[in-house]
Amino acid sequence: MLNHFLTNASGLSLRPKYYQDNRFVLFLWVLITLIFVIDSWATHRYNNYLIFENTFRNLLQEKSLYAPYPAYHEDANHYGPIFSILIAPFALMHNWIGLLFWNLFNCFLLFKAVQTLPLSEGEKVVIGYIAIPCLIESMLNQQFNAGAGALMILSYTQINKDKGIWSALCIVLGTFIKLYGIVGLVFFFFVKKKPAFILWLILWSIVIFLLPMLFASPNYIVQCYVDWKNSLVGKNMINVSGEGIDISIMGFFRQLFNIPKVSNFLFLAFGSLLFMLPFWYFTYFSKSKFQLMILSSVLLFPVLFSTGAEDCTFIISITGVGIWFVKEKNKALKNALLPILLFTACNFPLLLFPTFAKAHRLSLSIISFPYFLVWLRIIYNSTNHKFVYAEETAPEMANALTD
């Protein structure tokens, strides 16, 4: 299907022409969002949204942001204290309307972030289509992951547009909400005005840390950060122990080789070495293709190597896959790998055979493996002289990041 619908920016053709318009992609994204909001209304399925909106009420009442509240919802919150401020405008609405605007907010934020990428319009359209299966998962689960992915993209696209202040904000805000955003610090290598950027990182960190104190006491907020750390450690222990479902690449290899006791450290050490490998090639730093491969890696790495990753979390990584796809020159490789990735992204085992899938966890964790293969290819491309220095087309040159 992709071979019939997508643009020649990735070596494919797209007909009819209105399918090539980003406005049509936005229409599809909004339609998907509305469909799953209506589904939530019809089935009274609000659980994840209730977890989020309850954090603002708990902040005002200085109750734990991370304790379970079975009277309101299942599970518990795992986002940072600043998230309770982000969700506040939606929490002030009735739940049904708050959910609507919450999902639309995440949808529009990610779409807008993709539009800021230094790519041709056709390439952005391709990314929009590729993201659809994961967008469905994200909207179905009412999660902030689309917003988290948007912040990571904006961390890069705002750096060298005389908007280092906003890039720093995106990195700090993403980190204080979900921790994934911290990988955006690697974009520091691309910053022209490094001292000013460091200053903005420090100032925004102070602001974001203190902001919840406008609504609650300092002692309470400090304790919230301690509780947040404990909640993340506890969630990781549950996933690694086998009580939870670990669909990270670490979980995949544990299930595949039946080695449940292997430490995360071994995987993380190997993954971190590969992640940092491209940065040895400092002469590539100014090249647009190199920077885009690093952005792709940033969008994939924290999800692949997080035991807290869920199927709906891959909306972050799928945009990285899209960037890789439109820049990858090996057509046979990308046209073989992408359909496999999109098929596994749909999570058919859990959708069609939930009992079997939960009993055979390899069928769930396999979702991460095609992403892992794409990530390895991205690392290879970003260290490949021919790829990085390949002559750019006119649209690529016109859309390259400016100082």
| Rounded Cα gap, residues 84 and 138, in angstroms | 19
| Model pLDDT, residue 397 | 39
What count of Cα atoms within 13 Å lies in the side-chain half-sphere of residue 103? 30
Q: Radius of gyration of the chain from Cα atoms?
A: 21
Question: Under 8 Å CB-to-CB from 368, ≥6 apart: which residues?
Answer: 247, 248, 249, 251, 252, 303, 304, 309
* Dihedrals phi, psi of 50, to nearest 5 degrees: -65, -35
Q: What is the DSSP secondary-structure string of 14-39? A: --SGGGG-HHHHHHHHHHHHHHHHHH
DSSP one-letter code for 237: H
Residue type at position 115:
Q
Give the residue-averaged pLDDT of 190-201.
Answer: 93
| Model pLDDT, residue 29 | 97
pTM of the model: 0.90
Which of 56-70, 202-216, 231-245, 276-290 has the least mean pLDDT?
Answer: 231-245
| Angle CA 371–144–2, to nearest 5 | 40
CA separation, residue 222 to residues 57, 137, 305, 314 (Å): 18, 34, 28, 31
pLDDT band at 12, cuts 50/70/90? very low
Give the residue-averaged pLDDT of 171-192.
Answer: 94
The SS3 call for residue 159 is coil
Question: Under 8 Å CB-to-CB from 57, ≥6 apart: which residues?
Answer: 91
DSSP one-letter code for 286: T
30-34 long-range Cβ contacts below 8 angstroms, 24+ apart? 30/104, 30/107, 32/107, 32/132, 32/135, 32/136, 32/139, 33/103, 33/104, 33/107, 33/135, 33/139, 34/100
CA separation, residue 304 to residues 16, 138, 234, 267, 383 (Å): 36, 17, 19, 10, 20
CA separation, residue 146 to residues 134, 153, 210, 313 (Å): 9, 11, 25, 8
Assigned token pair, 208: 């974001």
| Rounded Cα gap, residues 30 and 356, in angstroms | 33
Domain range spanning residue 84?
Answer: 2-399
Give the residue-averaged pLDDT of 239-255.
Answer: 77
Structurally, the chain folds into a number of domains equal to 1
Give the residue-averaged pLDDT of 245-265.
Answer: 82
For 258: left if phi > 0, alpha if psi spans -120 to 50, otherwise beta; the answer is left
Give the residue-averaged pLDDT of 165-182.
Answer: 95
